[in-house]
Structure 1
């Protein structure tokens, strides 16, 4: 009879045993990179509200194969969905802003070009984006339209053989450092996607300041003032809202994993703190109420990891449904935020200090909770799938 393994507080359910050697190697690479290049500096970046060298970080991430990671060809790694999820987890364990950079570059901008672009567009943009030498952004959200993109006001009209785009986009990650923007606009033919080089006349991007969350991330407003594009700038296969929504579903999958990285960091910070912080003559981890908090955090973290792994394997099998992604994002982000909030209570006053990672992750997850679809929107997606009734227009 084989020896029973010892209980591992770092892997309570033994989930690592469900991963292959390649999966573990990819995760280790991402973890080392985050430990070397992000963790020593990110608290300072966050406090200053800036990401000092996003282009340099993007090139390093590109060299690691993290940009457009599950895509095939054009310099992309062609990795499994599970491996991509593990990288998202490790990056967000450092900071949500770093995972957002990767998600927007790969799962939104690159995925849109890979899935809906022409061969010429793929060859022109994807190799540079995969290497991190070219930065992309994904411009769907507008100042007055977020959860309901069908109300977008940005317009693209034909003028001879060209397209002319006018409108504004808001809360665009990577926007003011991007070399190319994937812009979604209303046309007489329905919603279309366009590749807008940042140097195009009439295109401007302004960095959004004074954020209380995702402070180590570049967030921007885009203005398109009569931006003239050739006919070849339109993504030929992107017609209707189904195209941008499919890109969002791809990005949400990475969030299903990434949010757990933030939760893991906060859980481990609380676990360590509970073993060293003394009150009433003993470590606070010896008190029943603290142990109950730690146990509940561990349970939800492990459940979320099993859910993420299941969805990743469905994606690798070509069987992942958008409704299942909504289920994953709804559960994992909501529970991750609750884990971070509980960890903050374990750390007491120290929980609000930048010397510890908990408040930073907690604030970041307040944004992750609402971007790429709010919790309420994902509840309604699931509600419609369960009942067959559409509550969005009720």
Structure 2
């Protein structure tokens, strides 16, 4: 049985849609619907199982507990619902679930944890920093609440990717927090994902990252996140078919998650299929018009006209649209200079050199007040015809383990470094072997 991820399901909260229509969009046969009421320190949850084909309620039950027993009640609901659907849970596994989940959890701790999990999905610096505040508040109340510690590690592992924070300031903390979370509870998926992200973005140790992501998949087969990051690993190594197949499994679990579907477009783009990448990206923007990562990837795809049927490189129609996408991405990112770097590159590529140089000067001015990642500045330098400066910035990127180094193999714009310099950069980024393998294919 497959279970759709919470991030895909929650968009239907408070939406007036027929059960049949929701089920059709999610491609499911059954839906579980519930209501929650709190009163005088107690919580009452009513759950019913609905058959999608006709909306018939096949089973319903109510659960009532004191508020601090809410997590134990969730396990009861899960077991009761599974039984109602006809899933047979072997006795020792059911006992294990009850044993691991039955301890009373402080209601405020759980509330802060859930708020943080929601904010994490937005992938912006302010949202992730707010998530960190909630998680720290949760841990101040309960210092050994492993889920909060694991999610805090995940937050620190995401910040250098989604914001301008330096890798050295984030990844060691992510490593430490994830290790502590695993020591408290080895089943914490977020902790293993965080360890994988440290190896992926910071150390570029592909085998170690793969191990962590696969282990996280085993721990929680219903979580789309480890599958998504495993697909990311395949993609940046040029293993494009594996990337798309693995992401397809994540999409089954989480079909309308903005970040998962954005990566569908992203990995198609990495595979040189920019035209195909546009459809999933535009689907994301229909659901989440302010999702900056989708605007960024749409701009990249539109600015690569050699992959678009009938489009002549250098023509302005798709390039202007790409620039508009980069501008929207800059607006909604709230603290990421990647859209600016690609906007500079696109303007220079279509002959708007004066505007590109002005934007590059703006980038350098921004760097004086808030340090911008070296590879973003290097891409801008390449665009305005300063290859020596770009090479110096690549040296800086290696010195600080800039996370964008992982994209050297799949981002064609870096070919402008020249054959020798590009080959050297791939070697130092632990990517040259994959370049040879993809060339052999």
TM range (shorter): under 0.3
- Structure with bigger helix share is 2
Higher relative contact order (CA 8 A, sep 6+): 1
| TM-score, with length taken from structure 1 | 0.26
| TM-score, with length taken from structure 2 | 0.24
